[in-house]
Structure 1
């Protein structure tokens, strides 16, 4: 990150709760690289351009931060109340548009392709968060937050029978329900080897993360509760190269060992909605929280997916 610009900072507060958190820390300060949004969400890092894109949901816009200059500008106005974002194997932006009730892909020329907006002949609820697997399939959650009122979308009746986790094959357009027993499915992330997927159920009491095994045919097995939230509710998830799960919560980012034990936290002064790893080493941690976006360089690395090489 540039060091010759004045950026508001706060002290980095890593809280160790287990010996397995030893050595997990980073910069002494957390930089606040932007504030003034209504609700920051869905950060995604673009390595080729060295910039971060995220959603400001109630303002129905997406913003862009340039690492080389520190400048923040509008990436897209009238974003369809965009929430979660990711990139595919070709470096294209994949977006969950809550207001438009669809998942889209932004092509390299800037045009937008609709990937999914219906299931079983009926509109989706309001796609929330999204990840891409090495085979190019797109996995997303579909709770009804964007149709519950006019603040984060457009009020409408729910037409799906449930709140599903979907798998989309963009090469065929096939959309499949892979999990159908969630109350409010939200953030999701694959393990580093992509043999497991973790999905947050925000509205359960307590809010928790469930773990599924990903079978060879793309279906899921298991689904037991893997971790629970001790402060507010879970939202977005990310996984590092050691298989640790980093989960957005109301007091900051919670770190869970691969076995689901809470081993530490990074405290943030605003409720955290989501996070992303960036930079050449994926050791810049970006945190969307309330009105702001925070960043710090850390001593661990985000898992790399979607993979850039086909697995045998």
Structure 2
């Protein structure tokens, strides 16, 4: 069985004859998928093995970057450049067209960041990222170290050279994504390592100037946690979970599940019409074709 229908509305979003296909395997913790439509390929992290992988329908699997500084989440900016969260270097970087690396942020208030985890770019070019402690909690996904800054969400403006805290009311912020109209910002709080904190997705109203307000509970994933997620053009959230990918309606209702045989870490949309959902799940990469298009840039 590929799908679990919770609400009949979910039938509109899926193709019942579309399988969940395993595209590649052999990783230790696959994360951070990002689609490059202009190159018809997907990049994603294999964090413990300190590498960024590349997969394409034509060429299959290869190593994109061998020394990835234990990169986790990725996205693309409005110029199509790769933006990455690096656990090992405790920074957010941008890969330029010539392959050189530009540091977007590596410290706040004179102290090093914790371990940037996931990242999105708003249409105004600002870069929003979460900075929990998972990459410094052990030597498995980076280098063990003490936190020197709070576990918060930042907004960086590369043009102005500024970095500011926009959310500071979470235990450990993780995945994040904007609604299609950018009026809402969704952020997962997955809790502190080794503690039994509540974990859920919160949502914030986002003003035209980027100011956030009215933070509130949106949805609690069960089983598992909402680690990483992306939205489709209808505003539904497709989020990681213990048993696959859960589809959450804009009003917070669970509509259905894409069942995956491994714990899912993150997702992104891709393919020729951005109608394919790519899924990183523990040791493997999966894909399922949907009857909806994702919000994905470019």
Question: Aligned pair 1:270/2:258, yes or no?
Answer: no
Alpha-carbon separation, structure 2, partners of 1:284 and 1:247:
14
Q: State the partner residue of 1:310.
A: none
| CA displacement at 1:149 relative to structure 2 | 1.1
**Inter-partner Cα distance in structure 2 for 1:42 and 1:169:** 22
Report the CA distance shift for 1:207/1:44 in structure 2 as closer, same or farther (over 3 A): same
Aligned to 1:179: 167
Aligned to 1:145: 134
Q: Give the conservation status (yes or no) of the 8 Å contact 2:76–2:297.
A: no
1:282-309 Cα offsets, whole Å, 9 max, x none, are 0011000010000121111101446xxx
Query: C-alpha deviations, 1:44-103, integer Å up to 9, x for none?
Result: 00011000000000001010012223x210000111100000001111000000111000
Give TM-score scaled by structure 2 length: 0.96
Which position in structure 2 is the counterpart of 1:100? 89
Q: Post-superposition shift, 1:279? A: 1.4
1:1-312 mapped onto 2 (5 Å cutoff): 13-26=2-15, 27-69=17-59, 71-160=60-149, 162-203=150-191, 205-305=197-297
1:205 Cα deviation (Å)? 4.4
Aligned mates of 1:206, 1:15 — CA distance in 2: 25
Indicate the residue corresponding to 1:309 in structure 2: none
1:262-285 deviation digits (Å, cap 9, x = unpaired) = 111111000000000001210011
Partner SS state of residue 146, structure 2 = coil
Gaps of 5+ in 2: none
Farther off after superposition, 285-294 or 22-31: 22-31
Aligned pairs, number: 293
Gaps of 5+ in 1: 1-10, 307-312
1:46 and 1:52 in contact (8 A); partners too: yes
TM-score, length-scaled by structure 1: 0.92
- The answer to whether the 8 A contact 2:269-2:296 is kept is no
Q: Residues 66 and 22 of structure 1: is their aligned pair in 2 closer, same or farther, counting only changes over 3 Å?
A: closer
CA contact (8 A) 1:134 1:305 kept: no
Q: CA offsets per residue over residues 105-130 of structure 1, 9 Å max, x none?
A: 00011111111000011000000000
SS of residue matched to 1:272:
coil
Query: What whole-Å deviation, never above 9, does each CA across 1:140-165 have from its counterpart, x for those lacking one?
Result: 000011111100010111100x2110
Conservation of the 8 A alpha-carbon contact between 1:98 and 1:127: yes
Counterparts of 1:110 and 1:290, CA distance in 2: 28
Runs of 4+ in structure 1 deviating by more than 3 angstroms, as ranges, are: none
CA contact (8 A) 1:52 1:64 kept: yes
Per-residue CA distance 1:237-284 (angstroms, 9 max, x = gap):
100000001110111111111011111111100000000000121001
Separation in structure 2 between the aligned mates of residue 106 and residue 67 of structure 1, nearest angstrom? 23
